[in-house]
Amino acid sequence: MMKQNRLGKSDLYVSGIGLGTMSLPQDKKEAIYLIHEAIERGVNLIDTADLYGYGKIETILGEALKGRRSQVVLATKAGNHWEHGKEGWYWDPSKCYIKEAVKGSLKRLKTDYIDLFQLHGGTIEDPIDETIEAFEELKREGVIRAYGISSIRPNVIREYIGKSSIVSVMMMQYSILDRRPEESILGLLEQHDISVIARGPIAQGILSDQGYHKIPKDGYLDHSEQALKNILSNLNEKLSNKRPLSATAIRYVLAAPAVAAVVPGASRLPQLLSNVAAASSPELNDKELEIIRQLSKANVYQNHR
């Protein structure tokens, strides 16, 4: 059984490795097969959003979880306003739309409750008090068990910490190559007992055993192509061979006390198996963590401070 961690102060316990559904196979049967395989291997956190495929992914999940609903912590998101059959969307964190959006998600997911309902983004100009009111009402009504936000914006995260009862923050990116959350947010969330659900731990495949072939010519974030090659070479040279590089990458993110789960995407079974295997690989010791920090860059947020 995969180790589970408590999500903030909620009564939700999530597997250290979750399943992100944005990159599920296009074929419905293949997607359902992958979801079932994840559950069989101890993954209980499944993260989706109403915007993924304009509702298609939630619909597939609804079919996949028939008879298995109680085995998972189901997380979805709202805030991007779209209408079925129409192209495009616009940002709408209003109370009215949040409460309307959850009804659509419940219908597509074929469930009468959502374990973790998340705001899918957010800016400091949003009507934050109104958004929080919507989530709190849904919680009192029993429609959702807990709520969080999906954001990388430190200023927005601080607002929700101070005003709401969020149990989690989904970091859109956190990895050895993107250490911006370490600058101030991880410590602040840990202090307030709010969990992090981290995405992008393998940095678009760069932090994998095939990473050299996945390095973009124009680099990644503030890393040049050559800098990325140097980092991969040094990581492989100076760390032990106890685990594959992808497992090291996932273990690095899980080592942060605030992180309850990482949610790497998977479009094929080998990717899923590699992600799940990281859960049983040895934890990074203090020496290994220090080596990784020395070899990588302590990135900082340039915007949204």
Residues annotated as catalytic are 52
Q: Which two tokens stand for residue 126?
A: 């949003």
- Whether residue 71 contacts residue 99, with contact meaning beta carbons closer than 8 Å, is answered with no
Produce one character per residue of 2-11: b if its CB has 16 or more CB atoms within 10 Å, e if not.
eebeebbebe
Q: CB-hemisphere CA count at 13 Å for 114?
A: 33
Backbone phi and psi for residue 234, each to the nearest 5 degrees, phi listed first = -70, -40
- 96: Cβ–Cβ under 8 A, 6 or more apart, which residues? none
Report the alpha-carbon distance of residue 168 to residue 47 in Å, rounded. Answer: 13
The gap between the terminal CA atoms of the chain, to the nearest Å, is 40
Question: What is the number of other CB atoms lying within 10 angstroms of the CB of residue 177?
Answer: 25
Which one-letter amino acid corresponds to residue 197?
I
Which one-letter amino acid corresponds to residue 272?
L
